[in-house]
């Protein structure tokens, strides 16, 4: 069998631990479906014991996704492990990922446990988990800063108890590629039963080396699983980015010599979906998925690429989902052309009802905007009215007036559970006035912790995409709205965030 690198995606668990990146259950399912299309081997769907919201999300994903292994994180205790097993019951293939810290610092200061207590708890937990599920991953948290002798002892014991994957986290992003690679290699050489488990790497990006460290763990250390997230989402500076690690292994197959199961054509759509859902904008110069990743601005480069693409291109943009022809559809385009474009973009709507709703939105937009870009289509399908999430609040219309030297005023019509209401207010600017007009009715008491506007396709003719992040009683939600009028986009984003804030399905970010 070819030497395969397993891709373990933790966008929905470690990615969601990023402050402000919380996702609703339905959003998580949507992303999980995209990860399945990408042919990710393992999806870490959440941390079932951390909240009811997370339990339900893991359960929903386990019941809905058929091709990927579905995993839940769990602390090394019977209650967490039972909860994870319960949430994973419906999965075709289930994995429990249990962890306990092994570094002297974490054991003493955080867990207040002796090394012997940690050793026993690790062993006991894997034994308990193995009675519930066959596929068990064990992580010694802060593994890279742990004592080598102690770590070898713990790992040998948990493999004996039935752990099938051993993941060695660089929890705080402290590693250096060569040293981390050597660390994994030494562990594999010193643990007597190391050949009974698959070795995995899990690197954080605090020093900007998560991808390099993961690749060194693979190349030098012999790891055959990489844990990563879409867009490198994750706590602090994030995790190893899936798109970068996958494209490095694919593009430099001559060096790594490894097979991947990933269908890279769906990478861009996954990146957009995660960015739009969380409000974490992708920087333009981000490798693989940034807007400039395949743009050649200098004359010399453009000339070279026109003569022979490989003068300056090491990957084909199409292979990760970019399209050469960016102006795709217009007012006269029919439903079939629209549907085909969705397929080419790697977007699969759940039902014909959703396709019809998306097509209706597309027609509305095409009436107001002559050129519809791929970015417009991707924004449009992420709209809640397309995915038929039950909306408490829905935008109807807005008018606003602003003039130099005068205080802007806005009047907005929106529905609350289907009944139209009108609000009017003034504010510091037209956006402020519009959102205050909404609050007149809703009185959410929420604090706005982020407001950002992005031109979807780069010019003033493009749609504005607005992200609003609201926080209330410990809950953090993101709302996104797109429209050629950024004041309208802002009102839509605000209403979308309010819908999530008031939704029962809302989950609170899991904390590891």
Enumerate binding residues for Zn ion (CB under 5 A).
Answer: 14
Q: Which is nearer to Zn ion, 175 or 437 (CB)?
A: 175
User: How much of the chain is in helix, strand and coil states, percent to nearest 5?
Assistant: 45, 20, 35
Interatomic CA distance for residues 31 and 80, integer angstroms: 24
Interatomic CA distance for residues 326 and 318, integer angstroms: 12
Binding-site size for ligand KIV (CB under 6 A) equals 9
Options 74, 121, 125, 171; binder of ligand KIV; rule CB under 6 A: 171
Q: Which is nearer to Zn ion, 136 or 489 (CB)?
A: 136
Q: How far is the CB of 235 from ligand KIV (least distance, A)?
A: 8
Q: How far is the CB of 31 from ligand KIV (least distance, A)?
A: 18
Q: Which is nearer to Zn ion, 11 or 496 (CB)?
A: 11
Q: Which does 185 bind (CB under 5 to 8 A by kind): Zn ion, ligand KIV, none?
A: none
In the block, tokens 């407001």 appear at: 451
Q: Which of residues 386-445 bind ligand KIV (CB under 6 A)?
A: none
Q: How far is the CB of 75 from ligand KIV (least distance, A)?
A: 9
Nearest 10 degrees: Cα torsion 224, 230, 231, 235:
-80
Contact call for residue 202 and ligand KIV (CB under 6 A): yes
Q: How far is the CB of 133 from ligand KIV (least distance, A)?
A: 17
Q: Which does 243 bind (CB under 5 to 8 A by kind): Zn ion, ligand KIV, none?
A: none
Q: Which is nearer to ligand KIV, 133 or 380 (CB)?
A: 133
Q: Compute CA distances 58 → 55, 306, 317, 392, 417, whole Å.
A: 5, 48, 33, 25, 29
Could you tell me which of 242, 240, 238 has the C-alpha nearest to residue 260?
242
Q: Which does 141 bind (CB under 5 to 8 A by kind): ligand KIV, Zn ion, none?
A: ligand KIV
Q: Are 137 and 71 in contact (CB under 8 A)?
A: yes
Q: Which is nearer to Zn ion, 47 or 150 (CB)?
A: 47
In the block, tokens 């797109």 appear at: 482
Q: Which is nearer to ligand KIV, 100 or 493 (CB)?
A: 100
In the block, tokens 């395949």 appear at: 294
Q: Which is nearer to ligand KIV, 47 or 119 (CB)?
A: 47
Q: Which does 99 bind (CB under 5 to 8 A by kind): ligand KIV, Zn ion, none?
A: ligand KIV
Q: Which is nearer to ligand KIV, 14 or 244 (CB)?
A: 14
Options 18, 24, 59, 139; binder of ligand KIV; rule CB under 6 A: 139
Q: How many CB atoms lie within 10 A of CB 90?
A: 15
Q: How far is the CB of 216 from ligand KIV (least distance, A)?
A: 17
Q: How far is the CB of 112 from Zn ion (least distance, A)?
A: 22
3-state secondary structure of 144: helix
Q: Which does 139 bind (CB under 5 to 8 A by kind): Zn ion, ligand KIV, none?
A: ligand KIV
Give the phi and the psi of residue 161 in degrees, each rounded to 5: -80, -10
Residue 467 forms beta bridges with which residues?
452, 480
Options 15, 53, 162, 169; binder of ligand KIV; rule CB under 6 A: 169
Could you tell me which of 18, 175, 13 has the C-alpha nearest to residue 99?
13
Element (H, E) at 186: helix 177-190
Contact call for residue 222 and ligand KIV (CB under 6 A): no
For 258-282, b/e burial (b = at least 16 CB within 10 A) is bebebebbbbbbbbbbbbbbbbbeb
Q: Classify residue 418 as exposed, middle or buried by CB count within 10 Å of its CB (0-12, 13-18, 19+).
A: exposed
Q: Which is nearer to Zn ion, 14 or 465 (CB)?
A: 14
Q: How far is the CB of 395 from ligand KIV (least distance, A)?
A: 38
Q: Which of residues 74-113 bind ligand KIV (CB under 6 A)?
A: 99
Options 141, 374, 384, 391; binder of ligand KIV; rule CB under 6 A: 141
Q: Are 53 and 18 in contact (CB under 8 A)?
A: no
Residue 8 forms beta bridges with which residues?
42, 227
Q: Which is nearer to ligand KIV, 17 or 467 (CB)?
A: 17
Q: How far is the CB of 202 from Zn ion (least distance, A)?
A: 6
Q: Are 474 and 487 in contact (CB under 8 A)?
A: no
Q: Which residue is nearest to Zn ion (CB)?
A: 14
Q: How many CB atoms lie within 10 A of CB 474?
A: 7
Q: Which of residues 14-73 bind ligand KIV (CB under 6 A)?
A: 14
Residues that bind ligand KIV (CB under 6 A): 14, 99, 139, 141, 169, 171, 202, 204, 512
């Amino acid at each position: 069998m070819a030497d395969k690198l397993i891709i373990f995606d933790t966008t929905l668990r470690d990615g969601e631990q990023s402050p402000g990146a919380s996702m609703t259950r339905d959003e998580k399912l949507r992303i999980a479906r995209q990860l399945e299309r990408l042919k990710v081997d393992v999806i870490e769907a959440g941390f079932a014991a951390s909240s009811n919201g997370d339990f339900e999300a893991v359960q929903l994903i386990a019941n809905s996704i058929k091709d990927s292994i579905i995993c839940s994180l769990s602390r090394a205790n019977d209650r967490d492990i039972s909860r994870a097993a319960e949430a994973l019951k419906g999965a075709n293939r289930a994995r429990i990922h249990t962890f306990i810290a092994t570094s002297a610092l974490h054991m003493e200061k955080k867990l207040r446990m002796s090394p012997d207590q940690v050793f026993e708890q690790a062993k006991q937990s894997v034994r308990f988990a193995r009675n519930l599920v066959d596929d068990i991953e064990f992580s010694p948290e802060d593994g890279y800063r742990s004592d080598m002798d102690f770590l070898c002892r713990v790992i040998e014991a948990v493999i004996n108890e039935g752990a099938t994957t051993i993941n060695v986290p660089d929890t705080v992003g402290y590693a250096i590629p060569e040293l981390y690679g050597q660390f994994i290699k030494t562990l594999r050489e010193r643990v007597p039963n190391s050949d009974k488990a698959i070795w995995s790497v899990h690197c954080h990006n605090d020093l900007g080396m998560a991808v390099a460290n993961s690749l060194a763990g693979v190349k030098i250390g012999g790891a055959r699983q990489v844990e990563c997230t879409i867009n490198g989402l994750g706590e602090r500076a994030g995790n190893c980015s899936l798109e970068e690690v996958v494209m490095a292994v694919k593009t430099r197959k001559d060096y790594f010599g490894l097979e991947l199961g990933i269908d890279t054509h769906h990478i861009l759509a996954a990146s957009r979906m995660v960015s739009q859902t969380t409000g974490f904008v992708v920087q333009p110069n981000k490798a693989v998925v940034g807007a400039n990743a395949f743009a050649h601005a200098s004359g010399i480069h453009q000339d070279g690429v026109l003569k022979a693409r490989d003068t300056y291109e090491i990957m084909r943009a199409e292979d990760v989902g970019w399209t050469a022809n960016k102006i795709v559809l217009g007012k006269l385009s029919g439903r079939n052309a629209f549907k085909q474009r969705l397929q080419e973009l790697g977007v699969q709507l759940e039902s014909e009802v959703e396709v019809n709703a998306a097509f209706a939105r597309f027609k509305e937009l095409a009436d107001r905007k002559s050129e519809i870009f791929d970015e417009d289509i991707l924004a449009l399908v992420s709209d809640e009215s397309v995915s038929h999430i039950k909306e408490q609040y829905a935008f109807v219309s807005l008018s606003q007036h602003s003039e130099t030297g005068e205080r802007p005023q806005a009047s907005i019509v929106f529905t609350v559970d289907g009944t139209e209401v009108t609000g009017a207010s003034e504010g510091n600017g037209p956006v402020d006035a519009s959102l205050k007009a909404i609050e007149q009715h809703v009185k959410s008491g929420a604090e706005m912790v982020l407001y950002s506007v992005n031109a979807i396709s780069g010019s003033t003719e493009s749609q504005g995409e607005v992200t609003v992040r609201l926080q209330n009683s410990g809950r953090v939600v993101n709302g996104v709205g797109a429209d050629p009028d950024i004041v309208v986009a802002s009102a839509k984003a605000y209403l979308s965030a309010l819908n999530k804030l008031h939704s029962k399905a809302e989950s609170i970010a899991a904390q590891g």
